[in-house]
Structure 1
Amino acid sequence: MKTYTTIKTLVFSAIVAMTFTSCVKDDDWNAPEILCNNRFDEPTTTMANFAALAPTSGTYKVPTDGAPVIFDAYIVSSDESGNFYKTISFQDKAENPTVGLSLEVDKASNYADFPVGAHIRIKANGLVLGWDRGTRKIGSIDPTYAIGRIPSILLTRYLAGVCNGNNRMDIATLVPTKLANLNAAKQEKYLNTLVQVADVQFKLEDPTKPLTYINYTAGVGQDTDRDIEGKNGNTTVLRNSGFSTFGATLVPTKSGDLTFVVSRYNSNYQMLIRNTNDVNFVKDRFASGDPNAPEEPSSSAVNLFAGSDFENWATFLNSVNSFGIKQPLAQGVGLGLNGSNSLQIKGTAAGNDYLFTALAPAGLPASPKRITFYIKGTSTGKSLSFNVYRTSGSPAYYTYNLLNFTKSTIINVSDANDYRGAIDTKGEWMLVEINLAGAPLINLAAGKDIFAIKTGSAGVYDINIDNIKIE
């Protein structure tokens, strides 16, 4: 009888368990979700439109019972190596994203459910959106923090994977946004997105004594900043968590490509890698700390003249004075920075010619400090000279000469045009800064001559110029 009773008890327990298991389908039970179940309906908005709802101060609460607010995104972060903690970063597209956000969640090991490249869908109803300590986030309402962490048990209420048709999560191959330099990454539009910068290295006082990714105190890992530098003197900070599993690894002493998620703490940009695979440093180390390397254009820089980004050739042509343009000058379609358009100078100069003289637009900075632009290519026999026009005095312009040009540089005012030298950027974009400190009387009046480029007689040119700006 005892054996029979035991068997009855086991069978009854199994039936009860099966009954409860089959009934746990209501969301109120908080049952684990199958990640790829297309839990939410189709998107009702774009991530960019949603992100634009973030106020400059405070937060915006998405109505809990209002119309569904649903958008798609792609995961760019990973906490597998411990460098991201209870936060998920995502962007609106797998390639060429327009916006990024981070999600605060009280849950670790998110990479297991949402790996890098995962196509996700977010239903934001009931969440709050806003700027928090420098970056744009979404999360839960919290009595202590502006944006709180979503409890792990509620995560599936707001976040789910998107199926690819085979009952499996759609995993995209992310293409990092390639930027010209480290300073270019320090822009709000890149926050929480994946970018890549070439020709950078760890800044080391003694390359024969490399550092580890993080510092340790009494054997305990500490959150650590490591400086990264580029060939043109640009720098940024690589922020590594004290919990990163690669913390004790020595940083590479060579140079190369760095892939990272852009982040910011208050006003200080700090870049985050997912793991050491993001650090592809296989090239020889370059000399650091060039004192004559210019800083990248700041966010306040504006076009020096209409069409000075050369995207619209007609706009550029309408911005030059009555003398028009001279050969060898044309639009370089697709030859500019990041595949944009450029000003192409290709051919042999007939004389010491003005290629063009541009007119000042309205609204230029009242007291500009510098003019910047990028050059890529070669010249033989002669270099370039630039005129910046003045309000009075003789001659009618300040003169700046490029001379021998092989790397990013700052040029100062000269006494006269000088075309000596040659250009060779080794196939890379190099930055030129025209220092306006010696030019106090720049003619900034709208419609007046402001800037000219001159070639040297018999010089053979094959160069592209892009993004002529003033600030």
Structure 2
Amino acid sequence: MKKFSFNKIAVLLLTLVVITSCVEDDNFEIPKGISGTTEYPNQDAQFNSISAVLGNFGSNNDEPFTYEEEGPGVSEKYTEGYVVSSDEGGNFYKELIIQDSPENPTAAIVIQADKNPLFTQYEFGRKVFVKLNGLTVGESNGVLQLGRLDGEMIDRIPNTQVQSHIIRTDEVATIIAKEVSISDFNDALESQYIKLNDMQFNSNLVVGNATTFASESNDSFDGERVLESCATGGSVILSTSTFSDFKSLNLPANRGSIEGILTRDFFDDFYTIYINTPEGINFDNELRCDPLFEDDFSAGNLNKWTTYNVAGNQEWYYNTFGNPSDSATMSGFSGGAQTNEDWLISLPIDLSDIPTAYLTFQTVKRYSGNDLEVFYATDYNGGDPTTDGTWIALSPALDTNTGSWSSWTDSGQLDVSAAAGGNLFIAFKYTSTSSSASTWEVDNVKVSAE
């Protein structure tokens, strides 16, 4: 009887714990008694760096690689890293991101874990050991992840196994965000905690109106907001979950630095950044670097442009696809490759009081065909550009990956300061032949004074 009574009390206490843990309360505290281990879980275990874990996927022909369960003849295997994600703000859910060093990391990886919240035990900066036996490294949405293999998918580590696979140490390091520029983005940087300097949100989002992180009527799962570099003119998307605690806050209108995790969007179309909380944004400079001219084509038209058809039946048109959406698009394909020459020419851009000016834009190319040609002029009058205007050729970087719609390429800064003191016209010239007709999308066109 005594034993039965003890079990009932235990069940009652367990029930109270479960009920308490399900209350929606953001004021979590670090549980007592889990300060963390001070030594390696198994001195005889085999250590794998995060780079080596990622490398197993590549050496397995980019197919999921599963670590064997430990047993006779199979040693325990571990990796280690520092936590750089936090679900405290609701922007991450049942995933933990670790990198191999608190400063200047060389590799990082996402761990799928069926536990919420995670930050109460694995907070930002906490060093952890990860037992690899039984886990699989594979790709999901273009990002390498660790978890349990379920068919061809990387599933979460079951809740009951999280603490045996992710072992908390007693070390909490200060994480120093890795300073990079948008042009540095590559697969090796994915999942690392990075810092971008001299950034601001696109003026359409914050100048003259207020836009939230992720509470607009067209936000479904994530709010996607365009961040621009004042230094290079390049842009990147900030993604915020519509389940985050800060989704209804307004974007800051100033300029400064932002720290977050570099990853890919859900469809693996482009790089994006997720922040842990708004404290990762330090926009303390009130002087914005808004361009003299910009068009991300989100207005749904080409009203800032003149389209001129020199040859062929196809013309430049507004397209709902872009980076991240909307673009000016031209294709000379219609039932086969067609011969075309088509110009997309900006309306006059006033540089009368500007000593220097720079053009930036992004392109994506699909299918084989001629490259775009890019020009500027100061004396165009609205006629046939082959005879109207003195067009000076520019040398931008253009997309060369004809097999992808997501290989958006920054043009680099193109100096158009020779037009200072008057009007500037920007032109994109498309040509195709009866044997090859590529598709070009142009987006995020800007002319800036710095």
The TM-score, its normalising length taken from structure 2, stands at: 0.56
User: Are residues 294 and 140 of structure 1, via their aligned partners in 2, closer, same or farther at CA, if it must alter by over 3 Å?
Assistant: same
> Retained in 2: the 8 A contact 1:91–1:99?
yes
Structure 2 matches for 1:78-93, cutoff 5 A? 78-93=86-101
User: Are residues 293 and 117 of structure 1, via their aligned partners in 2, closer, same or farther at CA, if it must alter by over 3 Å?
Assistant: farther
The 3-state SS of whatever aligns with 2:271 is strand
User: Are residues 139 and 183 of structure 1, via their aligned partners in 2, closer, same or farther at CA, if it must alter by over 3 Å?
Assistant: same
> Retained in 1: the 8 A contact 2:36–2:168?
yes
User: Are residues 246 and 12 of structure 1, via their aligned partners in 2, closer, same or farther at CA, if it must alter by over 3 Å?
Assistant: closer
The 3-state SS of whatever aligns with 2:79 is strand
User: Are residues 286 and 160 of structure 1, via their aligned partners in 2, closer, same or farther at CA, if it must alter by over 3 Å?
Assistant: same
Where structure 2 has 5 or more consecutive residues not aligned to the other structure, the ranges are 15-31, 295-357, 365-369, 374-394, 396-411, 419-428, 430-450
C-alpha RMSD over aligned residues: 3.7
Q: Which residue identity lines up with residue 164 of structure 2 in the other structure?
A: R
Q: Deviations over 1:345-401 (max 9, x none)?
A: xxxxxxxxxxxxxxxxxxxxxx9999xxxxxxxxxxxxxxxxxxxxxxxxxxxxx9x
User: How far apart are the structure 2 equivalents of 1:223 and 1:275?
Assistant: 15
The 3-state SS of whatever aligns with 1:93 is coil
Deviation at 1:189, TM superposition (A): 1.1
The 3-state SS of whatever aligns with 2:57 is coil
Deviation at 1:133, TM superposition (A): 1.4
Task: Report how many aligned residue pairs link the two structures.
Answer: 282
Deviation at 1:48, TM superposition (A): 1.4
Where structure 1 has 5 or more consecutive residues not aligned to the other structure, the ranges are 1-7, 22-31, 163-168, 299-366, 371-399, 401-407, 415-436, 438-471
> Retained in 1: the 8 A contact 2:197–2:256?
yes
Does 2:287 correspond to 1:280? no
User: Are residues 293 and 160 of structure 1, via their aligned partners in 2, closer, same or farther at CA, if it must alter by over 3 Å?
Assistant: farther
The 3-state SS of whatever aligns with 2:153 is coil
> Which residue number corresponds to residue 253 of structure 2?
253
Does 2:160 correspond to 1:199? no
The 3-state SS of whatever aligns with 1:249 is coil
User: How far apart are the structure 1 equivalents of 2:5 and 2:415?
Assistant: 88
Deviation at 1:16, TM superposition (A): 10
> Which residue number corresponds to residue 85 of structure 2?
77
Structure 2 matches for 1:169-188, cutoff 5 A? 169-179=170-180, 181-184=181-184, 186-188=185-187
Structure 2 matches for 1:407-446, cutoff 5 A? 409-411=413-415
> Retained in 2: the 8 A contact 1:204–1:210?
no
Identity, % of aligned pairs?
A: 20
User: How far apart are the structure 2 equivalents of 1:156 and 1:78?
Assistant: 17
The 3-state SS of whatever aligns with 2:52 is helix
The 3-state SS of whatever aligns with 1:52 is helix
> Which residue number corresponds to residue 150 of structure 2?
142
User: Are residues 288 and 411 of structure 1, via their aligned partners in 2, closer, same or farther at CA, if it must alter by over 3 Å?
Assistant: closer
Which of the two has higher C-alpha Rg? 1
Q: Which residue identity lines up with residue 261 of structure 2 in the other structure?
A: V
> Retained in 1: the 8 A contact 2:82–2:101?
yes
Deviation at 1:286, TM superposition (A): 1.3
> Retained in 2: the 8 A contact 1:215–1:222?
no
User: Are residues 79 and 49 of structure 1, via their aligned partners in 2, closer, same or farther at CA, if it must alter by over 3 Å?
Assistant: same
User: How far apart are the structure 2 equivalents of 1:280 and 1:411?
Assistant: 30
User: How far apart are the structure 1 equivalents of 2:113 and 2:33?
Assistant: 16
Structure 2 matches for 1:313-324, cutoff 5 A? none
Name segments (4+ residues, structure 1) moved above 6 Å. Answer: 14-17, 367-370
The 3-state SS of whatever aligns with 1:122 is strand
User: Are residues 44 and 33 of structure 1, via their aligned partners in 2, closer, same or farther at CA, if it must alter by over 3 Å?
Assistant: farther
> Which residue number corresponds to residue 28 of structure 1?
none
Which of the residues 46, 49, 52 maps onto 1:49? 52
> Which residue number corresponds to residue 235 of structure 2?
235
> Which residue number corresponds to residue 307 of structure 1?
none
> Which residue number corresponds to residue 155 of structure 1?
162
Structure 2 matches for 1:443-462, cutoff 5 A? none
The 3-state SS of whatever aligns with 2:171 is coil
Q: Deviations over 1:151-203 (max 9, x none)?
A: 111111211112xxxxxx21000011111x2232x211111110101110111
Does 2:129 correspond to 1:121? yes
